[in-house]
Structure 1
Amino acid sequence: MKTITRDEWKSEGDRLYGNFKNWKFKCVSCGTVQTMQDFIDAGIPADRAGNFVYQECIGRHTKEKGCDWCLYGLFQIHTKEVEFEGTKVPVFEFAEIEKP
C-alpha cells in the first residue's frame, strides 16, 4: 500500500492533468478510466462528483460503462491512500497519460 499526503496527491494530479475536473482515475476493479465530468454527465451534482470520482466506479451511477465497485466497501483491493488530517482515504490510481 502506498500512502501519500494530500499535498503530494494534489501536486501529482495538477502536474498530470491540470484542473481537478480533468483528473483521470482508473477503477481498481474493472479498469474504467473516469473523470469528474463523467459523473456530472451521469446526473451527479458537481460537489458530490468531486468526491465520487476517486473512490467509486462510474458504473455505480450509470449502466453504460464501468462496474459497481467502491473503495469504502468490505474488500480492500486498492493500492493507494491519501493521508489528510490524520485520516487515510483510499483512492483510485491516476490513469496513464495517453501518448499522442
Structure 2
Amino acid sequence: MTETKTVMTNAAWRAEGARRFGTDDIMQWKFRCVSCGTESSPADFEKVNADPRRAPHECIGRHLKPVMHIDGNSKPCNWTAGGMFRLSSVVEIEGIEGKPTLAFPFADYIGGEPA
C-alpha cells in the first residue's frame, strides 16, 4: 500500500484556511482529528485552558481528562499528527527555515459554512 501525503507551503496552507473558513483568523479555523474525526479550533483549545497553537496538531481529547476510553472508539481521543503512527491524511506544511510541520486536515468548511 502506497502512502500519500499532502505537502503544502505555509502560504498555501494559510490561504486555503482563509478560503475555507472565510477569515484569516486561525483561531476560528477547525481541524479534523485523523483518528476519531473530532473537529476543534484553536478557540476551542483556549476554552479548555490548552495552548491554542496545538489545535492543528493534536486532538482536543489530549487536553480533556480523562482521555482513556474503554471501547477504544470514542471521541475525542488523544491522537497527535506527529505521533509514532502517522496516517496518510496528515498534512505536511513546509515550515520556516525548512523545518516541516505536521497538521491535521482542515474540517470540511467552505466560505465559513459547513460543507
Scaled by the length of structure 1, the TM-score of the pair is: 0.86
Match of 1:83 in 2: 94
Q: After TM superposition, give the deviation of residue 95 of structure 1 in Å.
A: 0.5
Identity of aligned residues (%): 37
Divergent runs of 4+, >4 A: none
Residue of structure 2 aligned with 1:49, choices 44, 47, 52? 52
Is there any run of 5+ residues in structure 1 with no aligned partner, and where? none
Structure-to-structure mapping, 1:54-73, within 5 angstroms = 54-63=56-65, 65-73=75-83
Q: Give me the whole-angstrom Cα distance separating, in 2, the residues matched to 1:8 and 1:42.
A: 29
Kindly provide the CA deviation profile for residues 38-79 of structure 1, in whole angstroms up to 9, marking residues without a partner as x: 1111012xxx312x1000000000148510001121111142
**Bigger fraction of residues in helix:** 1
Q: Give me the whole-angstrom Cα distance separating, in 2, the residues matched to 1:54 and 1:78.
A: 15
Q: Judge which range, 67-76 or 52-61, deviates more.
A: 67-76
Is there any run of 5+ residues in structure 2 with no aligned partner, and where? 68-74
Match of 1:9 in 2: 13
